[in-house]
Copies of this chain bind each other. A is one copy, B any other.
Amino acid sequence: MIHIVGHTAIDHICRVPVLPPKNGSTRITDRKIYFGGGAANIAAGIAVLGEPVTLHSAVGDDFRGGEYEQWMNRLGIAPRFFEVQGTHTPTAFMFTDDSGDQCTFFEWGASRIFCEAEAPKLPFVHMATADPAFNVRVAEKSEFASFDPGQDVFLYRKDQLEILLENIDILFANRHEVGVMCDRLGMKPEQIAETVPLAIFTAGKEGSTLYEEGTIHKIPAIPVTQADPTGAGDSYRAGFLSAYKRGYAPPECCKIGTVTASFVVEHKGCQTHLPTWEMMEERYLAHFGNFPEVPPSARRFA
């Protein structure tokens, strides 16, 4: 069982002719609601790839019986939720106008519970973006921990990042997140990578880099027609963690993550175009050739 800790969120993606001036108003010409939140995106990706997954998130009054819960149930995600009465499930409102300008409003909502919540003790956990103090407690208790700071990276203090790096086994970060971590820790990217057994730094269309005990592997991205880059990192992690659980070597896990992400960016939304293991395998073959076999006995954290 892979455990994922972090946000479940609801994303309202809106079009407006023009962003409103201060004390002005504007018309929404289109509003689509997408299922999101870093942790939920990763859990959904793992579930569609066929691995058992438990999601540890905070949700509000609006979650029970709603479409998002029904969707998670259909995917078979095991819920381990803090249900916080009198709050909303974390919600983001993103407005984009005809000239491409944007503004975003994010409601932390139920996720405020993380700062005071007791951390679960877990055998194999990935901590996606959420409360820094909670993630520190999870990392300290877990047997095997993976971590990405995500868009909340700026919330982490130096000492919190240091404890996390000491306690985790895998670090994921994109260029922006690596940059913030370097600033906060006074370190170079390679130095950060050396503090953990496995570090994966992603760079969008330029692919990803795996740091594995002194060895550096470069994994190219797969060229696809990109509709929306949102969710690429989350699906990469879903692919990586599913493959890692099945016993694949880290460089193979990176390729499987890359292939998984290539599906997600082809469509709008983070959970709208997730591949099954078979879909992933087929594209892997077409792109990298020679899909590696791994015996069931290789599975980790049985």
Given A20-B105, A104-B20, A105-B95, A88 and B26 contact (CB-CB distance below 8 Å): no
Once bound together, how far apart are the Cα atoms of A109 and B22, in whole Å? 24
**Docked-complex contact B101 and A25, CB < 8 angstroms:** no
Residues of B near A104 (CB, < 8 A) are: 20, 24-26
**Docked-complex contact B19 and A22, CB < 8 angstroms:** yes
Least Cβ–Cβ distance between A59 and chain B, in angstroms: 15
Least Cβ–Cβ distance between A26 and chain B, in angstroms: 6
Least Cβ–Cβ distance between A98 and chain B, in angstroms: 13
Once bound together, how far apart are the Cα atoms of A91 and B108, in whole Å? 21
Once bound together, how far apart are the Cα atoms of A27 and B154, in whole Å? 14
* 16 A-B pairs with C-beta separation under 8 A: A20-B103, A20-B104, A21-B103, A22-B102, A23-B103, A26-B103, A26-B105, A27-B106, A27-B107, A28-B93, A28-B105, A28-B106, A28-B108, A31-B107, A31-B109, A93-B93
Once bound together, how far apart are the Cα atoms of A107 and B30, in whole Å? 8
Least Cβ–Cβ distance between A101 and chain B, in angstroms: 5
Once bound together, how far apart are the Cα atoms of A19 and B23, in whole Å? 10
Once bound together, how far apart are the Cα atoms of A103 and B102, in whole Å? 14
Q: 1/0 contact trace for A268-290 toward B, CB 8 Å? A: 00000000000000000000000
Say whether A138 faces chain B, with CB atoms less than 8 Å apart.
no
Copies of this protein, total: 2
Say whether A221 faces chain B, with CB atoms less than 8 Å apart.
no
**Docked-complex contact A105 and B25, CB < 8 angstroms:** yes
| Residue of A31, A105, A108 with most partner-chain B CB within 10 A | A105
Smallest CB gap from A101: residue in B: B22
**Docked-complex contact A108 and B23, CB < 8 angstroms:** no
Once bound together, how far apart are the Cα atoms of A104 and B24, in whole Å? 7
**Docked-complex contact B103 and A25, CB < 8 angstroms:** yes
**Docked-complex contact A24 and B103, CB < 8 angstroms:** yes
**Docked-complex contact A108 and B20, CB < 8 angstroms:** no
Taking CB atoms and an 8 Å cut-off, the chain A residues in 16-47 that contact chain B are 16, 19-28, 31
Least Cβ–Cβ distance between A30 and chain B, in angstroms: 9
Residues of B near A105 (CB, < 8 A) are: 14, 16, 20, 25-28, 93, 95
Once bound together, how far apart are the Cα atoms of A19 and B14, in whole Å? 17
Smallest CB gap from A12: residue in B: B93
Smallest CB gap from A19: residue in B: B22
Residues of B near A16 (CB, < 8 A) are: 105
**Docked-complex contact A23 and B101, CB < 8 angstroms:** yes
**Docked-complex contact B26 and A107, CB < 8 angstroms:** no
> 14 additional contacts, CB 8 Å, given A22-B101, A28-B106?
A14-B107, A19-B22, A20-B103, A23-B101, A23-B103, A25-B104, A25-B106, A26-B103, A26-B106, A27-B108, A31-B88, A31-B107, A31-B109, A93-B93
**Docked-complex contact A102 and B31, CB < 8 angstroms:** no
**Docked-complex contact A103 and B14, CB < 8 angstroms:** no
Once bound together, how far apart are the Cα atoms of A20 and B93, in whole Å? 12
